[in-house]
Structure formats: C-alpha cells, structure tokens
Structure 1
Amino acid sequence: MSAPPPTPLSASTRRHKAPPALPLSAFTPPSTGTADRFPFPPSPTSVTAQSIVDANVVVSSSDLSQWKSEATSELKEKISGVVLILKVDNVQQLVELLESKISQVPILSVSVPFRIDNGSPVGIPSSSKVPISLSITYSRQSPEAVEALAWALSNGHVVDVDVQFTADDKSYDSLEESLTTASKDANPESTIVISNLLPPVDDLSLPLVKLLTHPTYRAYQAHTASLSLIPNTYIKLLPPNWREPTPPTPAPVGGIRPEDSSEKKEWKRRIKMYVGPALEAFGDQRIIFGTSPSPESSAKSAVGDWFELVKESLAELGIEQEGVDAIFGGNAQKVYGKKQ
C-alpha cells in the first residue's frame, strides 16, 4: 500500500521554519585589523543588469513622462519593459488610451485593480490588446479578499497583492492563511506577487543594533520565510514607506562619484538588513524590482534614486551577476511576460 500524501503545512507551522537571525556583521564592513582577510564587495559600477524591467510603475494617466524624467541614463538605456500599476477609477478608458499610444518604453503588463461582487469579477477590462494582470489591496483577512484571490488564481492570473497592515505576528498570520486558502485550487499558471513588504514600514529613529533584536524585525524574518513556502509566490523590492523620501545619488563630478550622505548610508544598511532574509527565503529567482512605492503608500521616491540605491545595496551584499540579472529583469519577464 502506498503511503498517503503529506499533509500541507499550516500557516502556524510554517512560521517556525524561519532562517537563522543574521548577525549585525553581515551588514557592516570588517574592522581595519581584519579587512585584509575579507574580499571587498564588488563596486556598484561593476554590478549592473544586462536588461532591466521596472515592475512597479504607478500611473493615473497614459503619460510616462515623469518616469522618463526621473530615470537615470543607465535605466533608460537598459529598460526592456515596465509593468504599469493603474491607480484610476476608469480602468477601461486608460487601457484604451494605452493601446492607442506608441510608448517608447515597452509595456510588459498592465496591472488593474479588481474586486468580486455577487460571485463575478468587477473592474477587469472586457478586452485589451495590452497584457493584463490583476491587483488587490490586502489590509485584513476577509471572505471577500479570499474569494477575489481564489477566483484570480483559479483562472491563471498574475495577482499583485499590495499589503497594507501593521507588521505584527497576527497580521502576518492572517495574510499567510488568506494566501494559502486562496491558492488551494490555483491554476499552475497563476502567480502571487507580494508588494509593500520588502522592505516593510520601518522607524528610522530606531538604531540598527536595536532593530536587529526588535520584535518587528524578528516577525519579518520568520514570516518572510513562511510566505516563501506558498507555491508560485514572488516578492517585490520597492521603495519603502519610511516617512522620508528616498535619498538621492548625485551624478559623478569629473568622473568621480561624490561620497554618500549619512542618510543614504543608513538607508543602504537597513535595505540590506531586509533584503538578506528575503534572499534566504525566496532566493534571487523570486525577487522582483520596481521603482514606484505602493499606490496606497505616502512614500516619496524618484525612479533613479531608488534604482541606484538598490543597485549599490545588492552589490554590497555580494549578489552575483546571475542574481542581479534575475532581480532587475529576468524574474519580472518570467512572471509578467507570459500570456495572461
């Protein structure tokens, strides 16, 4: 007699399969006395993706002029596609405008918000020449949220789940339970993309040494590991809601890069603290880069500033070329580039 199939892990069981806590030394350079024993991380100028997909461009019109004005020359030269996150009431009208315009920036997919009313989806364009993915805002566990997610996943859609909650154990548990329940009968072609958790909301006034052992960071580590166990689930690396604008990266002067500001150094240290556990859990093949903050976020961030900050942070973490290519473009192409 053959053995029965294994019982799926519950959300509470998965939560205990967290990676070990990363020491503070993982995010700071070695002391002068030991520096000769460690290789220097690659220079940010030497770590660059072959092609780039910006998988989170929030728009309320068909005009991408702001994106173009804020993008660096490298980003413009290597961009191979964007994923537009629509923030409008009349989705059908905007989709029609996008279809009628010839954009210099290739549109890989358009993510439209939707809901379920009386068992039927509402908000999805009746027809479209541009690839359509779906988006939903998740703030708490509810039958309506699970029903909407279940419908989208059973029909093989890519769904951006924009997480809007206070990052505590209870909220994480409800998200895990909702995603697990909704994906029970998912089509193998469907994909969940979690937004606004990498990095999560943070308090910049809390010193890094205290953050490392803080309950919110411990919860982030544990639940990032748990979320990664849900099949066909990816996570987006987006500008965080840290109540301050993303620090700028000034252009080189005479070929020499200006020294980073203290604010930028602090941001990079924190970004690396959050990217580290995400890499342990999801790997570099399930992290997707985007430049716009969540549509529901109050964060301020310019396209080029976030791109430079992420590029330098990944370089300092020692991510190899294959991983850089995947995070900046390959993963988004795999998820959003497939037929919807």
Structure 2
Amino acid sequence: MNAIQFSVIGFGRIGQRHAKIIQEYSHSELVSVVDVNTKQFDSINSLGLDCITYESIVVFLDEDKGNSEIVTIATPNGFHAEYAIKLLEHGYHVLIEKPMALSEEEAKLIIKAEKESNKKVFVVKQNRYSPPSVWMRNMVESGLIGDTLMVQVNCYWNRDARYYKVSDWKGTKDLDGGALFTQFSHFVDIMYWVFGDIKEPKAIVKNYTHSDLVDFDDSGFAQFEFENGGMGSINYSTSCWDKNMESSITIVGTKGSFKVGGQYMNEVEYCHIQGYEMPELPATNPPNDYGPYKGSAANHHYVFENIVDVLNGKEEPMATSFDGMKVVSIIERIYKSAGFTK
C-alpha cells in the first residue's frame, strides 16, 4: 500500500494531534505544517515531528509544489471553507476538521470545488467510530428498534474562561460560529448519521454565563421532526460548572428504547428492546484531554487510516463532503429558527 503524503494547516491543539498521528502511522508521511503563529512551531521537537514549516497558506502553495497529496485543515472554523476551496483549486485532496464550514452556502461551494478539481474532500467525524455509535446505527438500520418515535440529544458541557482565554478566535461568531458548531457538531453528526435529516426546527438560543462573548450562545433547545419519521430534540449547554456533565442520545421506538450516554456518548446506559439481549460492546476510546476540559472520543487515528485506504482504492470514505454539508445545514437551520443567525 502506498504511503500518503500529508501537510497540516493550523498547528494548534488539533493540528498538532493530526500531525503526530500522521507521522506515527506506517502508511502516511508528514511533509509540512503551516501556521501564521510561528510560536506554535515550538511544539515540533517535543512532539517528535520531522517536517517543513510554513508561515502561511500562500507560502505553502508556492513552495510545496505538489509534494503533499492531501492537506488537513485545522484552522479556526471561519477559514475552513476559504482554505479548502483554495487547496482543491491547487490540486490537493483535503481533510476538514469540524465543522466543514459555517454555512450551508460555504459547504456547497466546497463541494462544487471538489467536483471541478476531481479531488476528494474528507471531513472529520470521528465519533462515528465509537462502538456505541456503530451499535446504535445498526439497531436503527436493522429495524430492531422498530419505527423511531422520539430522539432526544442532550449535550451538557463546561467551556468557561479556561477554554476561551487561550485563543482570541474562540467565542467569536465569524471564526468560531457557536457552540453547536464547535462543541457539539459531532453529536449532531451522530444524530444525522443514524436518523437522517430534520425539518421544521424551532429553537431557543441563549447566552447565560459568557457575558464577555458578544453575539454568542452557550445554551439552547431545538425541536424538530425527522424527514424519515419521528420527532427529535437537541438540548445543549456549555454552562455546566467546572466540568462536562453528559452527552447522550435517547431513542424511543415501537419495539423498545435505549439510551447512549456518558460524558461523550461513550456507553449504552439503558437498553430494553423486544426479543433482544444487549451484547458487551468494545470499550470506547477515552476523550481528548485538553487539561482543564475534555473533548470527544480520541478516534482521529481511524480517520487517517480511512483516508489512506480510500486514496489507495481499498475503502469508501467514512464521511463525505455531503455529510459535512448536511450537518452544517442542520445547525444553521436551528440557529436561524432561534434568530441567532440570519
């Protein structure tokens, strides 16, 4: 199998994780990392990386000259679409961290550039690899749960000054986008992956505990129906004191009910389904550890393994650009219904 050459744009916490996984995987090679803040490169030695550094995407595009096959984009959210389109136009495949973009319109422009360039767009949806997520999708697709009647997604996390003070783009509407984009889009993705698209959302969005963040949200409720039948809701907050509380999804079907919960949808907490005995699932990987706060499951290595297999013609993408666009669309429609965005 051919080794795939990667470069990484955006060398913060997530970009550094991308770079380390790429270098350590036997079928990928790290060519370069790019960041406008050159202080980020101080971490290269401690991470054990061997790569070129560039101070901007402009310099990268001028000097890389096709040495990289695919570029991962781990910049602030507001740059995802612009950089993805530019890289596609220069002949690179791209991997875009969540969210794919901050509007459906931007996401569609990425898909247009993908088709015109004949390159591939991958999107990071690492929670799809967690055993409870795979189990949940199989339960619904197989019909064991019967018809889906109700779906409730609860995401209650902590993101306080310890999170927002470390970067000037976090908590801004133009570069961050909102809690549903930055904190909870992975869980919106799991809902979409299992139950499909939504319609007619009605939502309330508030900022209760982050008064220093202008025009930003930390809590909200959304209700909607699914295109495939049944109704659902998303309840979220980043205002939990000190630490994350839970990320869960509860399903009521005509043949039974179940709940996948824990801090990041990492365990099946309840399962009672007609004629079904709950198996023991493989353990979920621990959450990404950012010191004072935790993220979603540490499954990024599966994302890169899938990309390498796809580019070698061995697999189909776990998550496509269309999937990324639909998740952005769901979040945008929820925000619009609440009057948070126009």
Compute the TM-score of the two structures, normalised by the length of structure 1: 0.31
Task: Tell me which protein shows more helix as a share of its residues.
Answer: 1
Structure of higher RCO (CA pairs closer than 8 Å, 6+ residues apart)? 1
Task: Tell me which protein shows more strand as a share of its residues.
Answer: 2
Compute the TM-score of the two structures, normalised by the length of structure 2: 0.31
